[in-house]
Homo-oligomer: A and B are copies of this chain.
Amino acid sequence: MTGSYTIGLDYGTNSVRALIVNVAHGREVAGAVWNYEHGTDGVILSRDPNLARQHPADYVKGTELSVKKALADARKDVRGFKLDQVIGIGVDTTGSTPLPVDKAGRPLAFDKRLAKNSAAMAWLWKDHTSVAEAAEITAKARELRPQYLAKCGGTYSSEWFFSKILHCLRTAPKVFDAAHTWVECADWVPAMLTGTEAPDQIAVGVCAAGHKAMYNDDWGGYPDAKFLGALDPKLGELRARLRPKAHTIERAAGRLTEEWARRTGLRSGIPVAVGAFDAHLGAVGSGIGPGTLVKIIGTSTCDMMVAPVSQPVADVPGLCGIVNGSILPSHFGLEAGQSAVGDIFNWFVNCLQPGGRKLGSHESLSAGAAKLQPGESGLLALDWNNGNRTVLVDQRLTGLLLGQTLYTTPSEIYRALIEATAFGALTIINRFEEYGMKVERVVNCGGIAEKNPLVMQIYADVTGRPMLVSRSPQTCALGAAVAGAVVARAYPDFPTAQKAMTGLKPQVYRPTPKSHAAYKELYALYMKLHDAFGTRECQGNLFGVMKQLIEIRNRVRG
């Protein structure tokens, strides 16, 4: 095993990253990033602010160039590195990012006649054109198949697989009719690398299918044709062209083709793991296992847990999804999240620019905020500037700041916003535990966990738990490389591979008892606001206020 490497391929919103990892200890020996060349930073936009697409040609070119560059760097930097020491590949992507394909599994966007039609491209995770269809699917499932909703937090999202396909059917019927079927980006990339794109051969990952397409072995896979047909007969017909069975990342999607071996310099025939979403492989790369909550903190957060399938897991209200095998084989994968974390701090710094660009940087605001004690500002905020994903599952909630006087400073507000996201994080931990998922340790990863010690310390103080930080700054690509190692049989299973290949930074952020005590009081007040504005049950008639403001706003904006 010494001298063996795997590659993790991480397809993000703006770029693709190829990471070469030493299988023995998980250290990264080389990596390369290629920025997508279509659209704006890789995202095709339009006059409709809800539209966000990617051109699949970027996946093809980006794979070749990033892998070649990473391999070239490894050969330069790593003594004795040889191309045939790379024994496997894993893939993670954004999602749900489905793309329409033809009978051969070729993306419709590769057809010259459709190359500029955004409906024929990949519908990027953050495309929000399909709000009406999401509401329709939710309503229909509530009526006909409530069990479908129970596993995805009670609401089917506009970001998800069938919402987007149904929207295409309604608004771009020619593209829909030209498509033989639809494939998640996470499934299409491994198929491309292994020559298994044909719709009757492609290996579909249970991560995407389970979290975004209501796939569940308990009811025979994807939603049944009758249900889909009730939404639209053509959607019902599509059901027969979806795969009957989805797989975990333990399985290889296939083996690297001669063509891709030639294009990259890798050895042909090495296994490529079934694809999964970035957050899920990020959890793998952070060493997830039962009892560990992995928080992937970026513009938003994903909060991931697993539970052995041998133990029954309750349907946790407000969770984004509970899917057998979506993170680790033989484990339920549970996904929660906060709709905005870094995005809230970025809003404050970039949109409000308090104190101007110089005084209002993240660094100077953090420095000012770090001087404050919990409760010293008298401020309290809700972290809902982009809605609330868990536990309220309500995109039409908005931000709130309370307690400002005539002397309130930007640093005080910045700290209150950090604290608000920490209170949101605690609410998720509490929800997991209320439903029997004991959180024994919390591992953080992502840019904010890496770069902002104040945020980590506040999270420790608010939650009363030590905050651990994942060793790798590229946990998603590392998790993909771990999957590459498992399918290459370098390790017998994921726990063994994770133990060898993942780790933590030495620094642990520990809660200080005095701060934790203060935050307990503040959290009780946060929950009062949370329940008053976020739940129907709470008396006081404030539940509707944020929504009515949005209704008025939408009416005024036309």
Contacts A528-B542, A545-B528, A552-B518 given: A406-B378 contact, CB under 8 Å?
no
Q: Which residues of B contact A344 (CB under 8 A)?
A: 406
B375, B378, B407: the one contacting A347 at CB < 8 Å is B407
Contact with B along A359-380 (1 / 0, CB 8 A): 1100000000000011111111
Interface residue A47 (Cβ < 8 Å from any Cβ of B): no
Q: Is the CB of A539 within 8 A of B540?
A: yes
Q: Which residues of B contact A408 (CB under 8 A)?
A: 347, 351-352, 385, 399
B340, B356, B373: the one contacting A353 at CB < 8 Å is B356
Interface residue A154 (Cβ < 8 Å from any Cβ of B): no
Q: Give Cα distance in the complex from A518 to B557, angstroms.
A: 13
Contacts A399-B403, A400-B402 given: A376-B541 contact, CB under 8 Å?
no
B374, B410, B525, B550: the one contacting A352 at CB < 8 Å is B410
Interface residue A46 (Cβ < 8 Å from any Cβ of B): no
Q: Which residues of B contact A405 (CB under 8 A)?
A: 347, 385-386, 398-399
Closest Cβ of chain B to A386, distance in Å, is 5
Interface residue A549 (Cβ < 8 Å from any Cβ of B): yes
Q: Which residues of B contact A313 (CB under 8 A)?
A: none
Q: For the complex of A and B, list the 10 residue pairs with the smallest distance between their C-beta atoms, beginning with the closest.
A: A540-B540, A356-B356, A399-B404, A378-B553, A539-B539, A375-B552, A375-B556, A376-B556, A398-B403, A400-B402
Contact with B along A298-318 (1 / 0, CB 8 A): 000000000000000000000
Q: Which chain A residues (499-558) contact chain B, with CB distance < 8 Å?
A: 518, 521-522, 525, 528-529, 532, 538-542, 545-546, 548-550, 552-553, 555-557
User: Which residues of chain A have a CB within 8 Å of any CB of chain B?
Assistant: 340, 343-344, 346-347, 351-360, 373-380, 385-386, 398-410, 413, 518, 521-522, 525, 528-529, 532, 538-542, 545-546, 548-550, 552-553, 555-557
Interchain residue pairs with CB less than 8 A apart (7): A352-B409, A376-B556, A377-B553, A378-B398, A386-B405, A521-B548, A522-B549
Q: Which residues of B contact A359 (CB under 8 A)?
A: 353
Q: Is the CB of B352 within 8 A of A549?
A: no
Closest Cβ of chain B to A374, distance in Å, is 7
Q: Is the CB of B553 within 8 A of A529?
A: no
Q: Which residues of B contact A398 (CB under 8 A)?
A: 378, 402-405
Q: Is the CB of B406 within 8 A of A386?
A: yes
Q: Is the CB of B347 within 8 A of A556?
A: no
Q: Is the CB of B402 within 8 A of A399?
A: yes
B352, B374, B386, B546: the one contacting A403 at CB < 8 Å is B546
Q: Give Cα distance in the complex from A340 to B340, angstroms.
A: 32
Contacts A347-B407, A385-B405 given: A542-B532 contact, CB under 8 Å?
yes
Q: Which residues of B contact A385 (CB under 8 A)?
A: 404-406, 408
Q: Which residues of B contact A340 (CB under 8 A)?
A: 406
Q: Is the CB of B352 within 8 A of A555?
A: no
Q: Which residues of B contact A546 (CB under 8 A)?
A: 402-403
Which of A354, A404, A518, A525 has the most chain B CB atoms closer than 10 A to its own CB? Answer: A404
Q: Which residues of B contact A518 (CB under 8 A)?
A: 552, 556
Q: Which residues of B contact A557 (CB under 8 A)?
A: 376
Q: Which residues of B contact A386 (CB under 8 A)?
A: 405-406
Which of A380, A406, A553 has the most chain B CB atoms closer than 10 A to its own CB? Answer: A406
Among residues of B, the one whose C-beta sits closest to the C-beta of A358 is B356
Q: Which residues of B contact A399 (CB under 8 A)?
A: 401-405, 408
Closest Cβ of chain B to A257, distance in Å, is 42
Contacts A354-B353, A542-B529, A549-B375 given: A343-B402 contact, CB under 8 Å?
no
Closest Cβ of chain B to A403, distance in Å, is 5
Q: Which residues of B contact A357 (CB under 8 A)?
A: 356
Among residues of B, the one whose C-beta sits closest to the C-beta of A376 is B556
Among residues of B, the one whose C-beta sits closest to the C-beta of A354 is B352
Q: Which residues of B contact A346 (CB under 8 A)?
A: 406
Q: Give Cα distance in the complex from A380 to B357, angstroms.
A: 26
Q: Is the CB of B402 within 8 A of A552?
A: no
Among residues of B, the one whose C-beta sits closest to the C-beta of A543 is B540
Q: Is the CB of A375 within 8 A of B525?
A: no
Q: Which residues of B contact A377 (CB under 8 A)?
A: 553
Among residues of B, the one whose C-beta sits closest to the C-beta of A344 is B406
Q: Give Cα distance in the complex from A538 to B542, angstroms.
A: 11
Among residues of B, the one whose C-beta sits closest to the C-beta of A350 is B406
Q: Which residues of B contact A539 (CB under 8 A)?
A: 539-541
Q: Is the CB of B542 within 8 A of A351?
A: no
Q: Is the CB of B556 within 8 A of A373?
A: yes
Q: Give Cα distance in the complex from A380 to B550, angstroms.
A: 11
B401, B410, B556: the one contacting A374 at CB < 8 Å is B556
Q: Is the CB of B553 within 8 A of A376?
A: yes
Closest Cβ of chain B to A467, distance in Å, is 23
Among residues of B, the one whose C-beta sits closest to the C-beta of A378 is B553
Q: Give Cα distance in the complex from A260 to B401, angstroms.
A: 55
Q: Give Cα distance in the complex from A404 to B340, angstroms.
A: 12
Q: Is the CB of A541 within 8 A of B540?
A: yes
Which of A346, A352, A538 has the most chain B CB atoms closer than 10 A to its own CB? Answer: A352
B352, B378, B401, B540: the one contacting A400 at CB < 8 Å is B401
B373, B380, B545, B555: the one contacting A529 at CB < 8 Å is B545
Contacts A378-B552, A529-B542 given: A353-B355 contact, CB under 8 Å?
yes
